[in-house]
Amino acid sequence: MNFRPIIVLGGEPQSVFWEIFIKALKYKKYKSPIIMIGSLDLLKFYANRLNYNINVNILKNHSVKIKDLDNNKLNIIDIKFKKNNSKKKLVPSNNFIKKTFEIALMLLKDKITNKLLNGPINKKKFLNKKYLGITEYLAEKTNSKNFAMLIYNKKISVCPITTHLPLKYVSKKINKKLIVTKVELINNFYKNYLNIIPKIAITGLNPHCESIDAFNEDEKIIAPTVKILKKKGINIYGPYPADTIFMKKNRSEFNIIIGMYHDQILTPIKTLFEFDAINITLGLPFIRVSPDHGPNEKMVGKNLSNPLSLIRALQFLDN
């Protein structure tokens, strides 16, 4: 077997991920064997709905070896979940999701592979305000101090310096050390994993990089940090106003645009590419990728959800 397996976590039971995962399997055969950690009953349910004959190889979660994998079948570690038969609905279970992550982290620690793909979860229910997102959850579980969230597309990628943080806290969180750490992680990932020396743009925090306050973060924090990074040999420019950097002519000059907060850069990239982008966590001891969408519980069972982001995520790891 030449290709390292991809661990796939089903994530939230009440999620469109299960439907689009079946669609992704129907779309093509992947070179890397897939180890799904989730519910076999749920997979079969959606496979039947989508008229897909799913062949599975059931694994024991405590003793998975490469020789146990079958690349002609979906390898699965079956995790049971509760059903509410009276309402005919799935009951989202934190224990179910927690168990899938625990098994995945055990397999990754055992060096079965270095590839993890997880389906979306309900942050409010599972993370319970302890973590801003799965990025931070996995960082703590792996003792990873420095990490970054990269929304990746071959044409242009983006990274927020702060992630799922309320706007009122953003200006207090931004500092030179944090920016340097994130930029270095991105630069090293592009060089070492993608074999590309990236050209990076960074936005300002304030509209037009201007502020009526005496303390302007763009002048006092971001601009001096760009100079520091340039001295380190990193190909970075800015700060640029966020309202113009994504114009076609401007963005075409860069591989990555780094912004100060989540919606400042995720809004334009999703407008440009919709589902043709994936979420990569940098700084972990393995490659973690997720499709760039949430559980979208209202769409469950309607067979209308677009599988493109998940297909791109699987293709990215399929090497």
Report pLDDT digits (tens) over 282-297: 999 999 999 866 656 6
Domain 1-144+284-319 has CATH 3.40.718.10: yes
Contact residues for 143 (Cβ-Cβ < 8 A; gap 6+): none
| 293 or 204: which leads in pLDDT | 204
Structure token digits, residue 10: 């089903």
Neighbours of 257 (CB within 10 A): 25
**Per-residue confidence band for 275, with pLDDT thresholds at 50, 70 and 90:** confident
CATH 3.40.718.10 residue ranges for the chain: 1-144+284-319, 147-281
Structure token digits, residue 219: 């002048």
Parallel, antiparallel or unpaired: strands 6-9 and 115-118: parallel
> HSE of 29 in the Cβ direction (CA atoms, 13 Å)?
7
Structure token digits, residue 8: 């796939």
Task: For 147-281, give the CATH class.
Answer: alpha beta
Residue 268 reports pLDDT greater than 90: yes
Residue 215 reports pLDDT greater than 70: yes
**CA 252 from centre of chain:** 23
Share of the chain above pLDDT 70, in %: 90
The string of pLDDT tens digits covering residues 43-78 is 888 888 888 888 999 998 667 888 899 989 999 999
What 3-state class would DSSP assign to 267?
A: helix
